[in-house]
Amino acid sequence: MTAANEERLGLIERRLRASGKGEPAGRLARLLTARSHVPGRSAVLLELVGRLADRLRADGVPVIGPAGLTVSDLDLWDLLAAEAVPFEFTGARFIQLTNWFDDDGPGRRTLLAFAAHPAFRDAFRRACLDELSSHTFGAERESPLHPNLLARALSVPGVAAGLEAEVDAVTARAAAVPAAELRTILRRLQPLRSSAGYAAFGRYLDRVSRLDAATSVVRTLRCGLPAELVWPEYDTAVAELDQQRVRVERQWPLLAVHDAGTAFVFDPSGLLARYELRVSDREGLFGRFPARCTLHDGRLLVSWHTDAGERGYWADSPGAEFLLDADGIDLGGFMVGSVTRPPDPAEHVIPGGRFEPVPDGGTLLRRWRRALPPGAPAPFGAVDGETGWDLVQVPDGLVVRSVDGRQVPLPSEAWPPGIAGVLRLPGGDRLVTADAFGTVTLWDPQTATPGFVLDKRSSLPPVGWWDQMRSRDPVGSAALRTGTSGAPAADPVLRAAVEEAAEDAVELAAAIARFRALPQEPASSTVSPHAHNDNVRNGLAGLLAPWNPYTVRRRPNARPSSGYGMLSYLAVLPAALAGAGTPAERHARRWSGKVPGWTQVLSGLGAVALRAGLSTTPEPEREALVAFLTAVADAGLADSGADLTVVTVVAKGEHIADPAAEFGMAAEFADGIGSGLGLSCHRMVVAGPVLPHDRLRVVERVPLGGWGDAATIRRFVALLTARGPARWRPEWVPAAVAAGLNLPPDTITTLLTGALYVTVNDDYVVPSEHLSATGLSADAERTAARQVGALPPERLLQLLNAAMPHEPAVLWESGPDLASLASAWRSAPPDPPYEFAP
């Protein structure tokens, strides 16, 4: 801390000590509120609070935390807890751990006191485990966490303690929960499904190995299935529609369900109207999207997009088409193929309900009532023609009480605004909740966990209309409550639902088996902490030409939490090409955090080696490039003679989940391209031949082995490890001119140092170490880099690849291959290094 800052800090401390009782706590509370949306820690504030801890304790006035559910400034709350300073922070639910990990500034604390404090303990434990699945922390979708990231999390004592407590808790209750909650638990534990995770938490993960998937499914059946209920008129209508295009629109008391050709409108008394949609054929893009039906003040509007704008007609007046904009009708931001209107809980959960004020001094917290039509089944209960529920505070916690007196506990994880009611099923009552997006949950009263989760794509009506439903097979439903997975069911829909639940047992058993195999897995190996995606991206910047221009820019502030997806993908590539892994794992690899365009450097790995081998390359990027080269060699992608091909194909079909399986190839999705207009483009690594297919066209092939083979790369890495990077020598510049490289000296210097800074933003500052090593000024480096950066990326890749000696030791002995570089410069610019198939 500078003398000026020390003097200023001392002045603030003296003023606060001289202030009245409670004033330091009040000022700190106001400051924390102002900082609640500011990322990063303040070392100065931590120092000040540390000095004032005795005064804050002596005053005994609590520091009031900011309003809201999110907790930031973790180090400061940790300090207050460690110093026993009184504070109040109510409602803490979300902990911003990623921001804390990304902040490497001074003032970082262990978070042990924070992790143990009752105000934060439960939320912090949940956050620690969930952070391991977060892409913001560098996690890959549905994949075990990279050992580097796990080690990073465990290096923080408070996070390690929180992780252990949460893993202990979730694995302890896994043996007693229904299938839906067990699936959630296994998903949360997925980041630990590795030898590194087992080394840290094996004594808890062994509990998972002993689970019985079939037993969890029996618990699900005992809790109840939404398919036990039926609204016959709704079922009949939906059965007539195209199941791939069914859409639901709500405007209480009306409910519309439709596909591209037919719409049904219901009210609480049953089917109100049926309409056959009359939409003219449309050419081009808009013709690919079906018409949409929406409800407006009791009328059904049929609308569709055209080149001239949104057109439509009222379903009860099909002959009168009009432009919606001209008539002032707003569809809530509806765009082609999507709905941008934010969901309204009043539409999706309990439309038409009315909430009454909280009585003074009473225990009733919330009340909802709605009138039922005569003869309605009332599965949520009814009294005097009304259905509804109350949220009530009782000595043991909160309960949801149906209007007819039945009540169930409110689980701590349930969302109170989404309570739909106390559902009456044969053999038991169940709490039903729904979120703002229409996902419905039936809660298990024994474990207070989700017994069944029904997403909004279900064929059942929205939960707001469940008071029209009745039990479809009372005898079969009652049999499910007995806890036998083979319970008889006369109704075919209920029988199919039971069979689907039984299929869940197969999926869960496979997931459990993967945890059971952990003790036999080889030990996970870590890599350099600097070998994360951002540093690999920076190391390859300028050599790639991705379709997105923003992805070629260097990132001046590389985030350690960007993850190790590139190296993880290359590490499992050989086994994946051999057929290892489940469809879910193949899908996860498709969306793993690879560096965009990485396959393009496979035709010129010498350029990557040149950058890695020179002393002018920053050490973090050097370590990342070395790890990348090693992983490429180990994956078999450095040898031209290997039975591997990197191809880009265009396929007929936009939504091809697994192109390798679709077209009968041993292949892995290598790089995302895109899809549209009935086609999709995939870049893949293929083992063996690319089989011809009438829906598939190969548009480019990336050659392998543009510099050396795997043995060359390993020899280079060994030399770099033993000797350190090759020192930059100014005499290389005149030697390059003598070899025939007719370029300005600054441009030659930029090329011979690997052209590291050819793709930078205007505000990027080239490191001073680079400038002092090369003797260039900042302006000279920027000018030369822009000149070289004007070359096509494939041209720069070719030049730098030529400059790297085929025998790696030559780089340390005499420097880059200047003759080859000059020859490559004099040669005509090559076509892109791809073989274009007809």
pLDDT tens sequence across 787-818: 888 888 888 999 999 999 999 999 999 999 99
- Cα gap 667→798, rounded to integer Å: 27
pLDDT band with cut points at 50, 70 and 90 for residue 828: low
Of the candidates 452, 434, 466, 438, the one whose C-alpha atom is nearest the C-alpha of residue 497 is 452
Residue 462: what pLDDT? 85
Residue 647: what pLDDT? 87
Q: What is the pTM of this model?
A: 0.83
Residues 497-546: tens digit of each pLDDT: 888 888 888 999 999 999 999 999 888 888 899 999 999 999 998 888 75
Residues 395-416: tens digit of each pLDDT: 888 899 999 999 999 998 888 8
- Cα gap 431→541, rounded to integer Å: 55
pLDDT band with cut points at 50, 70 and 90 for residue 331: low
Residue 386 neighbours by CB distance under 10 Å:
14
SS3 267: strand
Residue 341 neighbours by CB distance under 10 Å:
13
Q: Is the pLDDT of residue 346 over 60?
A: no
The DSSP element (H or E) to which 302 belongs, if any, is strand 299-306
Residue with token string 């009506």: 461
Express as a percent the part of the chain with pLDDT over 70: 92
- Cα gap 767→773, rounded to integer Å: 10
pLDDT band with cut points at 50, 70 and 90 for residue 362: very low
In degrees, rounded to 5, the angle at the alpha carbon of residue 311 between the alpha carbons of residues 308 and 313 is: 160
SS3 283: coil
DSSP 742: -
- The amino acid occupying position 774 is T
- CA distances (Å), origin 570, targets 355, 488, 554, 622: 56, 49, 22, 18
SS3 273: strand
| Rounded mean pLDDT, 776-793 | 88
Question: How far is C-alpha 655 from the chain's CA centre?
Answer: 20
Residues 421-474: tens digit of each pLDDT: 999 888 788 999 988 777 889 999 888 899 988 876 677 888 888 888 888 888
Residue with token string 């560096």: 595
Residue with token string 């009332």: 378
Of the candidates 660, 699, 666, the one whose C-alpha atom is nearest the C-alpha of residue 681 is 699
- Cα gap 727→426, rounded to integer Å: 80
440-477 as b/e: b if 16+ CB within 10 A? bbbbbeebbbbbbbbebeeebbbbbbbbbbebbbeebb
HSE-up of residue 263 (Cα within 13 Å, Cβ side): 28
Residues 79-97: tens digit of each pLDDT: 999 999 999 988 788 898 9
Q: Angle 745-752/793-803 helices, nearest 10 degrees?
A: 80
Residue 552: what pLDDT? 58
Of the candidates 808, 788, 810, 813, the one whose C-alpha atom is nearest the C-alpha of residue 799 is 788
